Amino acid sequence: MPGDVEHCSVAHSLQDHYYNAGTGQYNGGSLWTDANTLEDLHNLMLATGTDDFSTVADTSFIGRSAVNSNTNWQSILGGSNDDAGWIVLALWKIADYKGSRGKDNSAYINAASKIYDIIAGQWDSTCGGGVWWSTAHTYKNAITNELFLLLSAQGYLRFGKLAYLDNAKKTWTWMSNTGMRNSNNLWNDGLNFNDCKNNGQTTWTYNQGVIASGLGALSVATGDKSLLTQAELTLDATISRLSTNNILRESCDDAVRGGPVCNQDQQIFKGIWTKHLQFYLDYANDPARTAKYSAWLGSQSSGVFHFGTNANNDVGSVWYAPDQVGAIGLPMFAVLNINQGRFYFHSEDQR
């Protein structure tokens, strides 16, 4: 299994090849993928003790926006409530790292709180509840509400605000009654606008991972261990139904030339799933549950480094077999996968 040296090597390649310190963004990336990459780099530093990427937050667009108290987050987010959720996670992780190094992290925490409030304001009674995917109010979907569940539960663990816990509870109650989780225990993409029923769209891997970390956090917040059972219904369904050769496979992944190719967003979904499985296991804090999934995580890490990584340490979307297409995914996809096979989320940083 790849170790710290390999993980850091991939991260350095990412920064060297794709990070634009002038704009503070990753070439070919987007706001939400940049947020995930920032979260991962700071996870890596917290886990390994390295400070190799200590200035990334300071030069990044998201980080610079956070330390500017005049930042108009509504304008930056452009109405995307799911993007907002990823940014909150990134800002909290930056704050964890800064705090662990004895630095002032208040600007990141304050910015995250502002963004959280923007998301919370997008909850209404349409379809019985839930946060809208965007301020256009045309779609209520799984990922936006899974993120809101996670942010609310984790926010309560961090800051002890009962309003956060209330939001987490009502989000899970609503989600569990929407029918978005199908008979295979996998979450489809969202709800039809006209009848508020499961739209039957793709069961993307990241939808199955983020719900697990959210339920894990809510279990810690409430002491309700049955939430872990709910999480593992979906995790186990992901392993049995969304994998090939014991390695995750997105519906758009195909190692054969001429097959489908995942788009820019879809290419990072599997990395997010593995990351949030590890977050879930940290919340569960149960050696038996960790043992249940540790070999699986090792298989994902092996697939990435043996099948998904080229000589330049760029990582592609296909992990389950040698990629005959030869296509390499987006640059930020690489760092999303350096975390596999390790637990990079630190429970002591939750508050």
Q: What is the model's pLDDT at position 308?
A: 64
Strands in 196-344 per DSSP E: 243-244, 247-248
- Domain spans of the chain, in order of start: 4-349
Closest to 24 measured CA to CA, from 38, 10, 12, 36: 38
Which residues fall within 8 angstroms of residue 192, CB to CB, at 6 or more apart? 198, 199
Please state the rounded mean pLDDT for residues 272-301: 93
Q: What is the model's pLDDT at position 108?
A: 99
Contact 298, 278 (CB under 8 A): no
Q: What is the model's pLDDT at position 328?
A: 52
Q: What is the model's pLDDT at position 321?
A: 67
Which residues fall within 8 angstroms of residue 348, CB to CB, at 6 or more apart? none
Contact 79, 119 (CB under 8 A): no
| Rounded Cα–Cα distance for residues 79 and 118 (Å) | 10
Please state the rounded mean pLDDT for residues 316-325: 67
CA 163 to chain centroid: 23
Work out whether the CA dihedral 176, 178, 184, 188 comes out positive or negative. negative
Q: What's the full length of the chain, in residues?
A: 351
What is the tens place of the pLDDT at every residue in 200-235? 999 999 999 999 999 999 999 999 999 999 999 999
Q: How confident is the model at residue 326 (pLDDT cuts 50, 70, 90)?
A: low
Which residues fall within 8 angstroms of residue 133, CB to CB, at 6 or more apart? 80, 81, 82, 139, 140, 141, 144, 190
Please state the rounded mean pLDDT for residues 8-32: 88
What is the tens place of the pLDDT at every residue in 177-196? 999 999 999 999 999 999 99
What is the tens place of the pLDDT at every residue in 242-279? 998 888 999 988 767 667 788 878 888 998 999 999 99
Q: What is the model's pLDDT at position 13?
A: 78
Closest to 341 measured CA to CA, from 44, 53, 13: 44
Please state the rounded mean pLDDT for residues 75-84: 98
User: Model pTM?
Assistant: 0.91
Q: How confident is the model at residue 309 (pLDDT cuts 50, 70, 90)?
A: low
Residue 8 has pLDDT above 60, yes or no: yes
Residue 350 has pLDDT above 60, yes or no: no
Tell me the fold of 4-349.
Glycosyltransferase (1.50.10)
Contact 187, 198 (CB under 8 A): no
Q: Which of these ranges, 63-72, 153-162, 194-203, 289-298, has the smallest mean pLDDT?
A: 289-298
Residue 334 has pLDDT above 50, yes or no: no
Chain mean pLDDT for the chain:
89
What is the tens place of the pLDDT at every residue in 120-138? 999 999 999 999 999 999 9
Residue 2 has pLDDT above 50, yes or no: no
Higher pLDDT, 298 or 117: 117
